[in-house]
Structure 1
Amino acid sequence: MKAQRVLVDYLKGKWPYYLLAILFMAAGNIIQSFYPRIIGSFADQLKEEQLTYSLIVDYSLLLLGVGIAFGVLAGMGQYIVMRLGRLFEFFTRGRLFDHFMTLGEHFYSKNGVGKLLSYVMNDVTAVREAIARGINQSTNSGILILSAAAMMLASDIPLRLIAISVLPLLAIPWIVSRFGPVIRSRSLSVQEALGKMTESAEEQFGGIRVTKKFAAEPIMGARFGAAVDRIHEKQLKLVRVSSLFQALIPFLGTLSLIIAIVYGGYLTIHQHISLGNFVALTLYIRMMVNPLQQIGGVINTMQRSRASLDRINELLAKEGEIQEAEQALAHDLKRAGIRIRHLTFSYPDADMEALHDISLDIAPGSTVGILGKTGSGKTTLMKLLLRMYDPPEGAIRIGGVDIRQLTLESLRDQIAYVPQEGFLFSTTIRDNIAFYRRDSAMTRIEEAAKQAQIYGNIVEFPERFETKLGERGVTLSGGQRQRTSLARGLIKRAPIMILDDSVSAVDAVTEQKIIDTISKERQGLTTIVIAHRISALKHADEIVVLDEGRIVQRGTHAELIGQRGMYATLHAIQEEGNRDAE
């Protein structure tokens, strides 16, 4: 069944253990089904005044043996199933994480962190609980019901009494068929609402400092409250139908017990059946009521988990937008030039072109600057170079090879990308700088920190490079986070480095020191510098000016200053701003 793919994949290697657990629980419940028969025999001997102290002890020991055997066998089976349920949780979360790594930029632009967490936490937990609880309770209940029915049929209890007593239970399949789809549909709605609430919570907690600074607590509280209210409304709808469903099944079991007592009592009074058989019958019916109630709960849980399982499988069915070619190459980019020809690109679901007819050559070992207003296409061009989105076939070549023919690993492994907002992990400064090269020597980490002009700040911390940064590097200022991210890119020493406005949060003096260091350290290596400030681009071999996705100017700093155009205008504005600041 395609809808059950992740579950089937997990069960392929685990079914013998599940079978063993079911056999343990089945044996335990078969033994337990002897309990009413023993009590019935005891009742008959009590009525006939045949009981002796020795028989009472025998009956007591027999019941104790039944209890111990049931407890040991059922307990072993349940332990195996619960342990396997935890393994399923581990297996599925690992598989989801691996799958997340294959999904592209477009997927993450449409799905927030909270929604992804709801898959990993809420949905996986719901399925795991259903597997463990479902197998435990359905096995225990199913075997107990079948054993009780077999024991009743094997006894001297009249068949017509048994048939009339269990008649109400025949309505259970109809109830399941009516309520099952409704519970599953409402459970899916609840899980989707939980995902949105988790996403809202993640956003609220991440922006708590901004909220406090603007005294916007009531606004954020109302926004989060609205998400909670939506879940509350959907959960109430689910609870109503689930409660009615779970109430009907035990009601039918109780109705069976009433019939057994009334009709069985009548037959006993008129001596058509023995007192022992009457007691055994009522105990068997009572023994079947609790399992029936449990089966109702299992079906309820299964319908809910099916909604979560469908969501997980739907996610796993999504394919990453970026696929490697069948004969992809692991190409060495150390002395490879970049050639872009007639590149036109639009984002998925977007009507406007982000880039239009871009043609550009970047010689190996050169430094190229890219300037443009916000939304001009600078970052889009870099995302295409990294294949975060796929460019048109043949539009971008490195070393003469279409980047669509390169393996993703070899392409991205040889490009160091430093974005404007570099993400820092909530670990130590050392681990963040050595993110790409975990085995880097401390001297190399310190060297990269010095190149990024962050070393002086780091050594001021009491724990220096072992300082923990907190969530998203909250311990550091904006400029310090940028420079730490820059150090992480520099330590990679990749053949191609992209600085995407990655020194915008530092002062002009520090910026110039960083640019001078990079120019010295990356001689012979290709560097692409994206910036809003012209001071970061003056040293470039060529500067490309983008406007609304088109190249409008190109040349050296001196050449562009001598032309009338956007570059000269921006230069004049920035120079005037610098003089005013002085």
Structure 2
Amino acid sequence: MKAQRLLKDYMKSHWLMYISAISFMAVANIIQSYYPRVLGNFTDHLQATGITQAIIKDYSLILLAIGLGYGILFGVGQYMVMRLGRRFEFHTRKRLFNHFTTLSESYYSKNGVGRLLSFVMNDVTAVREAMSMGLNQTVNSIILLISVIMMMVISAIPIYLIAVCVLPLLIIPFAVIYFGPSIRKRSTKVQESLAKMTESAEEQFGGVRVTKKFAVEPIMRGRFGKTVDQILENQLRLVRITSIFQALLPFLGALSLIISIVYGGYLTIHNVITLGNFVSLTLYLRMMVNPLQQIGNVINAMQRARASLDRLNNLLSVQPDIVESPTAKPLDLQSADIHMKGLTFAYPNSTQDALQNINLTIQHGKTLGIIGKTGSGKTTLVKLLLRIYDPPKGTLRIGGEDIHDATLESLRNQIAYVPQDGFLFSTTIRDNIAFFKRDSSLNSVELAAKQSQIYDNILEFPDQFETKLGERGFTLSGGQRQRSSLARGFIKNAPILIMDDSVSAVDAVTETKIIENLRLSRKNKTTIIIAHRISAIKHADIIVVLDEGKIVQQGTHQQLLAEDGIYASLYAIQEEGTRYAEGQ
């Protein structure tokens, strides 16, 4: 029962409250089971002595006590169960988010945001609803059914009459065995199609600006409509089978009631049982119909929840690709050199090497420039340095230590990484710049903004540094987002700064100012700059040219220009493009 481990662990840790809630609801249902007996006795009294004011008063008070007792106890028990269900939802979502933060980049490359949201929203909700509603109705049904049968026996209703009337209800276990697997299978398909719809919706909302610019709204509506149609088809298949199952239960209950009226009426006419017993019998059997329907609801809900539990437990069983060695220790990168020796790397499930035999030394305090065509392995190289992916052991060392022997926290805390896309969060500009150092003073934030040449733009906004950005920072232009992200890297002031083509969206003048600020602020600190424009790296102490995962050239700007190679060709092309643009 691995699929239910998540639920069992939670219930085990809150067992006392669950027992208390079940006890309240159990006593409430036992009290409720007295209704038919009291009404049966009332009928016998009316038949024997006729109606009197005293009889009406006595039985009214008894029924009122039963109603109050049932209402209060059941209300308390239901509140406790609902509260436990909401707490399960809260803790499970926190646990899922914490688990997401441990997963490797390779997992996110295979699973879209919409799919992950489906886990957090749809699956957790399905389990919570089954927990709350399921426990309530299960306790109600079982306790009430047991109480009803016991009360029928206590009320002197013949056992053989009870057995004949209850006989149709024995079909229910066989119906559960027959319908259960089909309901669970179809519920799984519904949850999977909901995940696809969420993923599609997230993608469409994120790309709505592109959709409008290309005027392809009908195509996008049609694409999203297909996912919705798939959900409808799967849900209708689930509804068909659950409707048949749920319709069967009240039919069996009604059949049992018909038998009681026919057979019980016959026995009453022949004075085998009293009129009060006959009334009690019919009321008890009528009372049994509702628990039977609840059992059907619980079975359906639990089958759907089982499908969601399977998905949640499978997710929580996913292990990150990047794990720390048991002997990993914190490293100090303040004065560490970086050595790559024979570094060859291929992405998981790829047969082609992204990097081949990389041999490179980056001395502490120096600036390394990396240039090359798209797909040459530039970003792959720095991802290995951050251990986003794992390099082969012994091929990458920092400060003389194999990178596998460093704790991930010490490694990533001492490296500032500025990506090309410049992702920003839906909060203020100040919070985005101070993302790593939340307690940074406004002066520190302003200094980082000045270094990245975004300061003047920020002052133009009405709220300046307290300006709240839209989703993913789309309030800003591409260049402004990139420079805000760059300010985040400056304020971290890490021993190693990696700029992954992070000035590609700025003009040449702004780029020159950023590079100059970089040279002043990064003295005695290691800097790695990936770029497509030579102007961003020509000041570097050493420049490497990558081509198809190999280092094909290495040296200073002047040394590489003197060679007849890729670097000189790129420089010539870019210089010609600059002169053409200036001429225009």
Which band: TM-score by shorter chain? over 0.9
Partner of 1:457: 457
Partner of 1:107: 107
Partner of 2:242: 242
How many residues are treated as equivalent by the alignment? 582
Shift of 1:19: 0.4
CA displacement 1:201-249 (0-9 Å, x = unmatched): 0000011111111101001000000111111111111111111111111
Q: 1:203 and 1:470 mapped to 2: Cα distance?
A: 17
2:56 matches 1:56: yes
Specify the code of the residue in structure 2 equivalent to 1:174.
Answer: F
CA displacement 1:112-151 (0-9 Å, x = unmatched): 0000000000000000000000111110111111100111
Partner of 1:181: 181
Residues 389-404 of structure 1 mapped to structure 2, 5 A cutoff = 389-404=389-404
Partner of 1:274: 274
Shift of 1:50: 4.1
Partner of 1:292: 292
Partner of 2:120: 120
Partner of 2:214: 214
Residues 555-570 of structure 1 mapped to structure 2, 5 A cutoff = 555-570=555-570
Q: Determine helix, strand or coil for the equivalent of 1:579.
A: helix
Residues 353-502 of structure 1 mapped to structure 2, 5 A cutoff = 353-502=353-502
Q: Determine helix, strand or coil for the equivalent of 2:539.
A: coil
Q: 1:408 and 1:258 mapped to 2: Cα distance?
A: 71
Partner of 1:338: 338
Partner of 1:263: 263
Specify the code of the residue in structure 2 equivalent to 1:228.
Answer: V
Q: 2:255 and 2:397 mapped to 1: Cα distance?
A: 77
Q: Determine helix, strand or coil for the equivalent of 1:439.
A: coil
Q: Determine helix, strand or coil for the equivalent of 2:132.
A: helix
Q: 2:95 and 2:510 mapped to 1: Cα distance?
A: 44
Q: 2:438 and 2:83 mapped to 1: Cα distance?
A: 34
CA displacement 1:537-578 (0-9 Å, x = unmatched): 110000000011111111000000010111000000000000
Shift of 1:13: 2.1
Specify the code of the residue in structure 2 equivalent to 1:380.
Answer: T
Partner of 1:508: 508
Q: 2:521 and 2:415 mapped to 1: Cα distance?
A: 16
Q: Determine helix, strand or coil for the equivalent of 2:436.
A: coil
Q: 1:289 and 1:142 mapped to 2: Cα distance?
A: 12
Q: 2:359 and 2:299 mapped to 1: Cα distance?
A: 61
Shift of 1:322: 0.6
Q: 2:326 and 2:317 mapped to 1: Cα distance?
A: 20
Shift of 1:48: 1.7
CA displacement 1:276-300 (0-9 Å, x = unmatched): 0000000000000011001100110
Specify the code of the residue in structure 2 equivalent to 1:515.
Answer: I
Q: 1:243 and 1:81 mapped to 2: Cα distance?
A: 27
Q: 1:2 and 1:524 mapped to 2: Cα distance?
A: 54
Shift of 1:10: 1.5
Partner of 1:166: 166
Shift of 1:46: 1.1
Q: 2:286 and 2:239 mapped to 1: Cα distance?
A: 27
Q: 2:341 and 2:4 mapped to 1: Cα distance?
A: 46
2:572 matches 1:572: yes
CA displacement 1:387-426 (0-9 Å, x = unmatched): 1111111111100111111111000000000000011000
Specify the code of the residue in structure 2 equivalent to 1:201.
Answer: A
CA displacement 1:289-343 (0-9 Å, x = unmatched): 0110011001100000010011000000000001100011101000000001111
Q: Determine helix, strand or coil for the equivalent of 1:12.
A: helix
Shift of 1:9: 2.3
CA displacement 1:230-270 (0-9 Å, x = unmatched): 11111111111111111111111111111111110111111
**Residues 10, 91 of structure 1: 8 Å contact kept:** no
CA displacement 1:482-517 (0-9 Å, x = unmatched): 000000011000000000000000000000000010
Shift of 1:5: 2.1
Shift of 1:350: 1.4
**Residues 180, 303 of structure 1: 8 Å contact kept:** yes
Q: 1:8 and 1:155 mapped to 2: Cα distance?
A: 39
Partner of 2:9: 9
Shift of 1:49: 2.9
Shift of 1:158: 1.1
Partner of 2:35: 35
**Residues 330, 406 of structure 2: 8 Å contact kept:** yes
**Residues 370, 529 of structure 1: 8 Å contact kept:** yes
Q: Determine helix, strand or coil for the equivalent of 2:13.
A: coil
Q: 2:523 and 2:415 mapped to 1: Cα distance?
A: 16
CA displacement 1:434-492 (0-9 Å, x = unmatched): 00000000000000000000000000000000001110001100000000000001100
Shift of 1:68: 0.5
Partner of 2:517: 517
CA displacement 1:14-69 (0-9 Å, x = unmatched): 11001000000000000000000000001111112344211110100100100000
**Residues 416, 496 of structure 1: 8 Å contact kept:** yes
Q: 1:153 and 1:394 mapped to 2: Cα distance?
A: 79
**Residues 355, 377 of structure 1: 8 Å contact kept:** yes
Q: 1:202 and 1:430 mapped to 2: Cα distance?
A: 27
Q: 1:485 and 1:478 mapped to 2: Cα distance?
A: 11
Q: Determine helix, strand or coil for the equivalent of 2:49.
A: coil
Partner of 2:550: 550
**Residues 337, 398 of structure 1: 8 Å contact kept:** yes
Partner of 1:142: 142
- Gap regions ≥5 residues in structure 2: none
Q: Determine helix, strand or coil for the equivalent of 2:440.
A: coil
**Residues 430, 466 of structure 2: 8 Å contact kept:** yes
Q: 1:489 and 1:142 mapped to 2: Cα distance?
A: 62
Partner of 2:152: 152
What TM-score comes out, normalization by structure 2 length?
0.99
Q: Which runs of 4+ in 1 moved over 6 A?
A: none
What TM-score comes out, normalization by structure 1 length?
0.99
Q: 2:349 and 2:228 mapped to 1: Cα distance?
A: 30
Specify the code of the residue in structure 2 equivalent to 1:388.
Answer: I
Q: 1:360 and 1:341 mapped to 2: Cα distance?
A: 7
Q: 1:8 and 1:368 mapped to 2: Cα distance?
A: 54
Shift of 1:2: 2.6
Shift of 1:183: 0.7
**Residues 3, 306 of structure 2: 8 Å contact kept:** no
